[in-house]
Chains A and B, each alone.
Chain A
Amino acid sequence: MDNLGAEHSRASRRLDIVYDSDLQSVDSAETSVLEVARGIGFEEDDLHRIGIALREAMVNAVVHGNKYSAQKKVRLSAWDDGGALKVVITDEGNGFDLSRVPDPLAEENLLRESGRGILLMQAFVDEFQVRRLSPTGTEVTMVKYMAPR
């Protein structure tokens, strides 16, 4: 894991980290992003939702994107975007077509063991975008707004 110098700053509530493609990176990314989210002021229920969405995005990048390759990295940026949390995660995999992901809520897919990660990300953040990068890679952008108090 490479912490990009002073860019991981509690004061600026921004982090930019390059991770290896392993499950330890998933845990580490979750911890780091939750620290940013806490700094912004998110409360426990939202922190839980952010944690799951972040974890799903990291698992997708590590497992499905980079396929645990030691040669491929996952890049994570997260910051306070005017009181919202914005997270961008990119991998170096072959990418995927969101429209081709089977609907996990379809009756015939309910008992599948996998395929619910994107559903949970979409459920737990307010904005979710997937972009295929050229020549390879996938970029996932998520935004979570503070709930009105």
Chain B
Amino acid sequence: MSVKLNSRQVGDVTVIDAAGRITLGEGTISLRDLIRDTLGGGHKKVLLNLGEVNYIDSSGIGELVSAFTTVTNQGGQLKLLNLNKRIQDLLQITKLYTVFEAHDDEAAAIRSFS
């Protein structure tokens, strides 16, 4: 199964719920397109919920980094929500835990946006 993405608005924060696999090909393209559309719609506070993502490869990790830099470069913020153990491990191995702000609680994550 490739990735399924659904976005919803909570106040001025766009929450993107992702499920499945973020891997080279369809999965990474879908995420890139949605981030582009979100920014294009003027929404610059993005919370990416990875709670239902069970698999990310290095291309998927690269896409998360791309999303982060794209949003940041447009003056926005991108944060992560609900990282499972496997994704936490990937962020540890790649040292990207130093880059991404991650939350376990959606309400707290929403409040953390400035």
Contacts and interface: CB of A to CB of B under 8 A. Distances in A.
B65 A48 contact: no
B61 interface: yes
Given A110-B96, A123-B93, A116 B62 contact: yes
Say what secondary structure dominates the interface of chain A: helix
Interface in B2-28: 23-25
A101 B69 CA distance: 22
Nearest to B98: A110
B86 interface: yes
Given A55-B57, A111-B65, A113-B62, A105 B95 contact: yes
A119 B25 contact: no
Majority SS at the chain B contact face: helix
Given A26-B24, A55-B23, A59-B24, A117 B58 contact: yes
A51 B63 contact: no
Interface in B80-114: 86, 90, 93-96, 98-99
A112 B62 CA distance: 7
Nearest to A62: B24
Interface string B53-86: 0010111011101101100000000000000001
